[in-house]
């Protein structure tokens, strides 16, 4: 598996990023339609957690087969890999976190998902005219993107991977230290009511898979392009991812 992936700038259309999807691909498609997403020229980047919780988790493979869709590996993809490949896993926790659809699949079908999830990089960087934009699921363990890139390209350190996929430290501490070497780092994992910027790190999981809304960011301008939720909707609590 290539743990780090680079992509050149999109000169034909937009590069949009979205927070955690968690099996709500139909809802995401409605959001993309609302902002005029054109798969012929636009690209969509996911910060991971494609599956679990929602009704469309099995659609993840169809989306991953699209040339315009790119995703990093989230902790929920990692849970599926651990289940099939072996490792410590609390099955009750996994099921409570929405993994029942996967646990109940036949072994051969599970393997099909895991083989594809294993191909997902831990980190992606995308060129733009204004500088590099990085994507991780949770956070960078280093304050310098080039250091993380080197670690991912040369070694598979479980501690590095754990921070990339599981850490909530930055949001808990309100840490505004930027990640050097990037114009912006886009992450998900921890739900927020609205997209939140800490330093140059943007948290994009606004609960589109729960009672919130999907947030799309134009990676060239760092502007949010999602249609706003109905202002008359009463916000509901969002459970941790």
Residues tagged active-site: 76
Burial of 164 (0-12, 13-18, 19+ CB in 10 A): buried
- Give, in degrees to the nearest 5, the angle at Cα 25 between 105 and 49: 65
Q: In what order do the strands lie in the sheet with 216-218?
A: 69-71, 43-46, 15-18, 216-218, 223-224
Closest CA to 54 of 15, 100, 10: 100
β-bridge partners, 202: 186, 197
């Amino acid at each position: 598996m290539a743990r780090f992936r680079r992509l050149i700038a999109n000169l034909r259309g937009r590069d949009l990023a979205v927070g955690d999807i968690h099996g709500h691909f139909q809802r995401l498609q409605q959001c993309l339609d609302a902002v005029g997403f054109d798969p012929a020229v636009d690209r969509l980047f996911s910060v991971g957690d494609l599956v679990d919780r929602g009704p469309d988790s099995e659609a993840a493979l169809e989306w991953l087969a699209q040339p315009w869709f790119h995703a990093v590996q989230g902790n929920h993809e990692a849970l599926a890999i651990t289940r099939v490949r072996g490792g410590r896993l609390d099955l009750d926790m996994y099921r409570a976190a929405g993994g029942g659809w996967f646990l109940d699949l036949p072994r051969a079908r599970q393997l099909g998902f895991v083989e594809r999830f294993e191909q997902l990089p831990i980190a992606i960087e995308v060129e733009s005219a204004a500088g590099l934009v990085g994507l991780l699921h949770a956070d960078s363990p280093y304050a310098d993107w080039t250091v993380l890139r080197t670690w991912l390209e040369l070694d598979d350190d479980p501690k590095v991977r754990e921070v990339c996929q599981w850490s909530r430290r930055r949001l808990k501490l309100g840490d505004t230290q930027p990640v050097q070497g990037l114009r912006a780092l886009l992450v998900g994992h921890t739900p927020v009511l609205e997209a939140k910027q800490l330093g140059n790190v943007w948290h994009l999981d606004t609960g589109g898979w729960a009672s919130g809304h999907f947030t799309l960011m134009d990676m060239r301008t760092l502007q949010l392009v999602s249609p706003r939720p109905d202002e008359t909707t009463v916000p509901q609590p969002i459970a941790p991812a």
